[in-house]
Amino acid sequence: MTSPFNLPAPADLQRLGQALAALDAINSPDPEYRYFTYSPGWGEQEAVFELNDGEGDQLLALFRPEGCVINGYLLGYDAPPVAELTQGLPAAFREFMFGEPVASIGTTFCRWYTPAGGWQASPAAHDEDGAEELLFIFDNQPATYAEWATEYYTDETDRPPIRPAAVAPLYQHQPLTKDLALAINPELEDWPALAAELEIIGYPHEL
């Protein structure tokens, strides 16, 4: 299975990961309830984007100079031996895929990108691995996040629905201002805390 996947190139995916992490920091001042996070200093020349639903489903995307590798785990799907799902994996990504925390999380799908090969998967991978359930957020469409976040963050609250137009500036990596943040979450109050979170993520801001 080496057909192309509908995923952005790593540089675009990395910027999107930062935007998603910034959006979640805006929507959830409490880190415990965030879905998306981004760690620019994961290792030497390494950054990691994480999706964690708090119920067992998890995705980690590692960015290195050589490209990107994505590890996904979804409850209810088969988890073949990692060696099967990483056939053809470049050596630069092996320590990540066979070490911690991936070893403890588990693997139900794996995708990787190199400039020479584009997005790839192991020949042993199959289409029914549930990857689309986690990868959907990478379509680069602000409406996708707005719809998801409206259900996740505003259900049973007094907050208004999150509009795609309010999300779009962050997808474009515009520096975050108080006005842009309040258009997403009008209940924000602790600006120093949000500014500190954005500094960690590496997202530009003018708070």
Domain boundaries, the chain: 10-201
User: Is 156 a residue whose pLDDT tops 90?
Assistant: no
pLDDT at position 40: 94
Provide the whole-model pTM: 0.94
Q: HEC string of the chain?
A: CCCCCCCCCHHHHHHHHHHHHHHHHHHCCCHHHCCEEEEEEEECCEEEEEEECCCCCEEEEEEECCEEEEEEECCCCCCCCHHHHCCCCCHHHHHHHHCCCHHHHCCCEEEEEECCCEEECCCCCCCCCCCHHHHHHHHCCHHHHHHHHHHHHHCCCCCCCCCHHHHHHHHCCCCECHHHHHHHCCCCCCHHHHHHHHHHHCCCECC
Phi and psi torsions of 53, nearest 5°: -85, 0
Token pair 């979804």 in the structure block, residue? 74
User: Is 58 a residue whose pLDDT tops 90?
Assistant: yes
CB neighbour list of residue 179: distance below 8 Å, 6 or more residues apart: none
Which residues make beta-bridge pairs with 61?
49, 70
Which residues make beta-bridge pairs with 62?
48, 69
User: Is 4 a residue whose pLDDT tops 70?
Assistant: no
CA 189, CA 2: separation in Å to the nearest integer?
48
What's the chain's length in residues?
207
pLDDT at position 3: 39
CA 74, CA 59: separation in Å to the nearest integer?
9
User: Is 18 a residue whose pLDDT tops 70?
Assistant: yes
User: Is 81 a residue whose pLDDT tops 60?
Assistant: yes
Instruction: Give the chain's mean pLDDT.
Output: 93
pLDDT at position 78: 85
CA 110, CA 60: separation in Å to the nearest integer?
10
User: Is 13 a residue whose pLDDT tops 60?
Assistant: yes
- Picking from 7-21, 61-75, 125-139, 172-186, which range would have the lowest pLDDT averaged per residue? 125-139
Question: Is-contact 134 51, C-beta < 8 A?
Answer: yes
pLDDT in tens, 20-33: 999 999 999 999 99
Nearest Cα to 207, choosing from 178, 173, 171? 178
User: Is 5 a residue whose pLDDT tops 90?
Assistant: no
pLDDT in tens, 126-147: 777 889 899 999 999 999 999 9
User: Is 119 a residue whose pLDDT tops 60?
Assistant: yes
